Structure 1
């Protein structure tokens, strides 16, 4: 199995801390002054982990529908809410990040006691650890959700919605992409829903509360709004589906345009073509007007993993083939690791099943996080749940370069 040694047993990262003047992010220092190190391919310059068994202190029990037998050696149910699986991330001005978990345990029927939450986290690359600094819970106190919720107090759970992507607007509110509808969701700074869930036009998943009797879904289970980006000027959202809509060309995914000020889809959309059938696109983040980073991956892990990449995406379709242009930025299974951060060896691999968050740290460095699907996935070490890992990767060229 790839990287099968216990990650926690490896020496902490020998990397400068990701903190600059005034506490703001200063990731340029991560790679040190030697630009030649690993310059022929992207290089790992920071690694930190959030231990799998990390729980939010003082929160309610969770995992009651997972049975009573241990999962990968972890006793279930849990006394508190696990802080697991990062599916989306937003960079904060103080060097921390706002990150969301998905619906909890993968299905509606086993996640009713998983409370949806935006966590505030901060990687400490010097010590190789991710700190949890707090967070906010998601709720619907105004009764805007148009279908019955699990809880009478209208705190949102993984049986209600499946949040998979997140951006923050200039006004400080959050927009989140959901897979169950799929819906766009708008929350205030405190995590309170501001608008009725906005459905993706003409698309319904098998879990959609809006399916009518006898109506067939037109997108696969867990293939909704895994991806969501916001334009640099904050005016436009770019929701993107994870799976192909029935009737579309296989391997083609839809990217939509959403006018944030009018709170409506504009009707404009683009097509992203995946490298092969049965792949997924698991995150989308803006790097300029009409330009993005996207995570494209297979649904395999460990030794079986074959494709885990980050691409630069251009909506302008310069080659005029009717699909957005994309160029490889990082092969996540082949990252130079001259300092042997995180795992031994001069090549670092990120072979997780669900790699679902990418963020820009500076013009040459990106951060990538996995969703560990706690407690189910055991990729690094057999029968031991995966940690959540936050890696910083120095690219071979500037993100601003077309």
Structure 2
């Protein structure tokens, strides 16, 4: 193993004086209804106590198609999206099966079709602790998956929050090796104990370098002892299967905010969703930043440029409603993908059936939107096909 270079550097948060793009424009809107289920699947929601939420009463006869927390572009109009741990925590999600869904948003019809999917499993016993199901189908009590990248060989790398772990699956959803821990960081759900990261604050975003040799998993929360709002953006060498020790710092606008996703634009720049905890009328900050790891101003943090304010999207064609301004007022917005050099796809995690950011008292649907930026990203061409 070579000597790694530690570049973890922190500084006190500075005032938000970032450069920015202009007002982005909504160019497409499609919706998957909240009450969408995997047909002929296993019952789910039995650990929710039968308590109604937003007019929905569990348990369910089948698995909900919900909680989209990571996205991969397939190049044919479809996308692979992952459902997270299910219902919010380890204790209530043991009957929620972890799954990669394949979906097709039709922006002309404003609909989203679920065209396939695979369950995530560990048939070869790479997980050393007891799983919830004896058949080794993975559930939301085993892992909380929140980010995904697919390599050129068709295998998937998925970021988890319970470890936090990196998980490597083949194209059929079978775990290929033991979960990989992040050195020096443990969540409360980690069986090794001594946590220094809060629950649900693990690998919320994960980028892949243009050459496919490096992953960049980004923590959602601050590790104990680090400055408030400072998030560790880690570097993982796929060739040697190890963390390099290089860590960059993404600084939240407010320590109470969270990130929702992180993807690469080129070797140095990343698109990162940052959001507050509000929904509906209380939603204020839902943004996409361009973060540069080169740290041009030498303040110890990634440089940030505002790319899109998701609470202030121009909608001159009234694709998303009757107003000239479209808002994306969801508590959790956890998917961003580059469609072309000026167009992004963005998807919310609807936390079915708990979130109601669009209409009070009604469960949020999964909304797929496309937005046109005012400037080119000048992204690496390998991300544009």
Normalized against structure 1, the TM-score is what? 0.88
The equivalent residue for 2:4 is: none
Deviation at 1:272, TM superposition (A): 0.8
Q: Which residue of 2 aligns with 1:320?
A: 298
- 2:258 corresponds in structure 1 to 280
1:164-218 superposed Cα distances (whole Å, 9 cap, x missing partner): 000001111000000000000000000000110000110001111221xxx3x11
Q: Give yes or no for the alignment of 1:263 onto 2:241.
A: yes
Q: Distance in 2 between matches of 1:260 and 1:307?
A: 34
- Where do residues 1-400 of structure 1 align in structure 2 (5 Å cutoff)? 41-211=23-193, 215=194, 217-400=195-378
Task: Quote the Cα distance in structure 1 between the aligned partners of 2:168 and 2:70.
Answer: 15
Q: CA deviation at 1:322?
A: 1.2
Contact 2:70–2:148, Cα closer than 8 Å, also in 1: yes
Query: What is the CA-CA distance between 1:40 and the residue it aligns to?
Result: 5.1
**SS of equivalent residue, structure 2 residue 47:** helix
> Which consecutive unaligned segments of at least 5 residues does structure 2 have?
1-20, 381-385
Alignment correspondent of 2:11:
none
**Contact 2:341–2:379 (CA under 8 A) maintained in structure 1:** no
Residues 280 and 359 in structure 2, CA contact (< 8 A), matched pair in contact too:
no
Q: CA deviation at 1:92?
A: 0.3
1:353-394 CA-partner distances (Å, limit 9, x unpaired): 000010001000001110000001112122110000011000
Q: CA deviation at 1:343?
A: 2.1
- Taking the aligned partners of 1:341 and 1:67, their CA distance within structure 2 comes to 38
**Cα distance, 1:68 vs structure 2:** 1.9
For 1:344 and 1:380, how far apart are their aligned partners in 2? 14
Stretches of structure 1 that go unaligned for 5 or more consecutive residues are: 1-38
Cα pair distance change 1:122/1:272, threshold 3 Å: same
Deviation at residue 317 of structure 1 after TM alignment: 1.0
Say what the alpha-carbon RMSD is for the aligned residues. Answer: 1.2
Match of 2:18 in 1: none
CA distance in 2: counterparts of 1:278 and 1:74, whole angstroms: 29
SS of the equivalent of 2:96 reads coil
Q: 1:102-125: CA deviations, max 9, x gaps?
A: 000001111000000000011100
Name the SS of the counterpart of 2:77 in structure 1.
coil
Q: Distance in 2 between matches of 1:123 and 1:48?
A: 6
Q: Decide whether the 8 Å contact of 2:266 with 2:379 is kept in 1.
A: no
- Normalising by structure 2, what TM-score? 0.92
SS at match of 2:153: coil
Cα distance, 1:262 vs structure 2? 1.2
Distance 2:259 2:168 in 1: 22
